[in-house]
């Protein structure tokens, strides 16, 4: 016993049917006449193009067509959701730029952080200059503290006392400029 495809019975063409696209626009299903939001474009084996709803596709029993329609509908829903999220994100970033003279909040924070680092490095310049004088190449205390100084790290108070003993008055002046 051969069964006739439900879409063939309603005059949409000969089976098998292929899904050729999906879009969102209010319309009427060519199979049942019901109003639909998601329009599934199908093409019959004899080339007839029709628009049907997901419910009618689901009732066909055509597992391949049902699976394709479900995947395509889910993909479109994800696409629309991503587009909405992107629109919201862009609106938020535009509001931040308007509020911050063209910069996002993140960019403002980064700019401030960069300025603080540059200010710190400028302030540390006399101390950083001590690094070359302090290093002796033996891999001990002097080289360790010199490496920290070169990175702009202020040593402990006890280490500063030792550096002043080693390098004398130049170190005292450099550390006084930082503080």
Calculate the CA dihedral of residues 164, 167, 169, 170 and round it to 10 degrees: -110
Condensed to tens digits (0 to 9), the pLDDT of residues 114-144 reads: 999 888 878 878 778 878 888 889 999 989 9
Any residues with CB less than 8 A from the CB of 123 and at least 6 apart, and which?
A: 177, 178
Residue 1 pLDDT > 60? no
What SS3 string covers 52-88? ECHHHHHHCCCHHHHHHHHHHHHHHHHHHHHHHHHHH
Residue matched to tokens 């479900």: 70
Any residues with CB less than 8 A from the CB of 68 and at least 6 apart, and which?
A: 19
- Residue 118 burial (C-beta neighbours within 10 Å; 0-12, 13-18, 19+): exposed
Condensed to tens digits (0 to 9), the pLDDT of residues 5-55 reads: 889 888 999 989 999 988 888 888 999 999 998 899 999 999 999 999 988
Condensed to tens digits (0 to 9), the pLDDT of residues 82-101 reads: 999 999 999 999 999 999 99
pLDDT of residue 82: 97
- Which two structure tokens, joined as six digits, stand for 150? 């070169």
Query: 9-43 in b/e burial notation, b at 16+ Cβ within 10 A?
Result: ebebbebebebeebeeeeeebbbeeeebebbbebb
Q: How confident is the model at residue 172 (pLDDT cuts 50, 70, 90)?
A: confident
Cα–Cα distance, 64 to 52 (Å, whole number): 16
From the list 71, 65, 66, the residue with the least C-alpha distance to 44 is 65
pTM of the complete model: 0.56
- Residue 65 burial (C-beta neighbours within 10 Å; 0-12, 13-18, 19+): buried
């Amino acid at each position: 016993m051969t069964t006739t495809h439900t879409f063939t019975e309603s005059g949409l063409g000969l089976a098998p049917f292929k899904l050729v696209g999906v879009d969102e626009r209010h319309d009427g299903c060519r199979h049942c006449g019901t109003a639909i939001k998601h329009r599934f474009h199908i093409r019959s084996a004899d080339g007839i193009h029709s628009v049907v709803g997901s419910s009618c596709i689901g009732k066909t029993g055509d597992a391949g067509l049902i699976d394709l329609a479900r995947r395509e509908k889910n993909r479109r829903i994800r696409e629309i959701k991503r587009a909405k999220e992107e629109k919201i994100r862009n609106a938020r970033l535009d509001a931040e730029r308007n509020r911050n003279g063209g910069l996002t909040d993140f960019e403002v924070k980064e700019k401030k952080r960069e300025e603080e680092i540059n200010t710190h490095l400028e302030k540390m310049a006399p101390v950083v200059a001590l690094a070359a004088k302090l290093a002796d190449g033996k891999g001990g205390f002097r080289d360790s503290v010199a490496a920290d100084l070169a990175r702009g790290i202020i040593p402990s108070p006890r280490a500063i006392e030792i550096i002043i003993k080693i390098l004398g008055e130049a170190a005292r002046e450099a550390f006084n400029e930082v503080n």
